[in-house]
Amino acid sequence: MNENIVLTESTYYILLSLYRPQHGYGIMQQADQLSDGRVRLAAGTLYGALNALCEKGWIVPLPVDKESRKKEYKLTEKGLQVLKNELERLRQLVKNGEEILKEER
């Protein structure tokens, strides 16, 4: 797997929201909540991103109940690894920033 993948904030929150399977509206709500309103996904943007993430193999749709119109998605092992790699990358960014800026404290 490419170790140099950098996720957009939207993609990060979509993947994070799918740590437990859920449908599109739930993803939109959770991304908004987790990001303190910074990431507000429009339906068209979200579903385009979900399709792209499915193509990369990072998420998969769950079987759809014939009675429901809601399509649920879940994170794959590959997607979980991408999410963990991004979290480690972000930790390194914060660590570097704190080390450089500690002189201002």
Encode pLDDT of 8-19 as tens digits. 999 999 999 999
Classify residue 83 by burial, with Cβ atoms within 10 Å: 0-12, 13-18, 19+: buried
For the full predicted model, state whether its pTM sits above 0.75: yes
Q: Averaged over 82-100, what is the pLDDT?
A: 95
Q: What is the DSSP string of 12-62?
A: HHHHHHTTS-EEHHHHHHHHHHHTTTS----HHHHHHHHHHHHHHTSEEEP
| Choice between 1 and 100, residue whose per-residue pLDDT is larger | 100
Percentage of the chain beyond pLDDT 90 is 83
CATH architecture of 9-104: Orthogonal Bundle (1.10)
Q: Which pLDDT belongs to residue 105?
A: 58
4 pLDDT band, cuts 50/70/90, is: confident
- Tell me how far apart the alpha carbons of residues 90 and 57 are, in angstroms, rounded to a whole number: 22
**Residue 31 pLDDT more than 80?**
yes
Encode pLDDT of 33-72 as tens digits. 999 999 999 999 999 999 999 999 999 999 887 777 788 9
Q: Are 23 and 70 in contact (CB under 8 A)?
A: yes
Q: Are 34 and 7 in contact (CB under 8 A)?
A: no
